[in-house]
A and B are shown apart, each in its own frame.
Chain A
Amino acid sequence: AQSVSQHNHHVILSEAASLELGCNYSYGGTVNLFWYVQYPGQHLQLLLKYFSGDPLVKGIKGFEAEFIKSKFSFNLRKPSVQWSDTAEYFCAVKSGNTGKLIFGQGTTLQVKP
């Protein structure tokens, strides 16, 4: 069965620290990969997505992610986090066959000012 695993459940950083959130998926076929963010009290928003082409994708708010096919990974990065980045982050995979989104467990990011 397809699955998505996020390694970090709760991350605490100080402002200006660098961020990397891990995401691995299990699916051998064509996938679309996504990172979503859920700010406190708000709905899910798309940060970035990978469909094809350059494996290094840039999203909103300075986030980027790298698709490494050989490692089945799609890690999210940001060079310098801000207090406003405090939120829940979800990695998701959309398989080509089903079209459904499979979400990871989520990572709570807390940025201390």
Chain B
Amino acid sequence: GAVVSQHPSRVICKSGTSVKIECRSLDFQATTMFWYRQFPKQSLMLMATSNEGSKATYEQGVEKDKFLINHASLTLSTLTVTSAHPEDSSFYICSASRLAGTSYNEQFFGPGTRLTVL
């Protein structure tokens, strides 16, 4: 149980286009989903926290208009990278937890999406 999927696993796009990444909790309802960015050989950096039905909370330095997050249902959150540029190339990982983010609970991680912007 507690499987999280991401789609697509890899995406290559041209500079200036927008890319949508989906994160799904397959066998549980996720009230909170998290989006991370991981640079090569570096740690995961939290970008934003999204609770179902409300606006996402972005970390300092993360542009809200650049990285649009939607958490419309208890099993789906999407991250849209708008007007992507080569510096947005990275590995994007989502995680999902069953309870509200401030309670003790486990985050289950998706496999990640490799974004390459040409």
Count of A interface residues, CB-CB < 8 Å? 23
Q: List 16 A-B contacts (CB under 8 A).
A: A32-B104, A43-B4, A43-B111, A44-B93, A44-B95, A44-B109, A45-B109, A51-B104, A98-B102, A99-B101, A100-B101, A101-B44, A102-B46, A103-B45, A105-B43, A106-B41
Question: Binary interface profile of B, 81-95, with partner A (CB < 8 Å = 1, else 0)?
Answer: 000000000000101
Q: Does A42 contact B (CB under 8 A)?
A: yes
Question: Binary interface profile of B, 38-56, with partner A (CB < 8 Å = 1, else 0)?
Answer: 0001111110010000000
Identify the B interface with A (CB < 8 A).
4, 34, 41-46, 49, 93, 95, 100-104, 106-107, 109-112
Identify the A interface with B (CB < 8 A).
32, 36, 42-46, 49, 51, 90, 94, 96-106, 108
B107 touches A101 (CB 8 A): yes
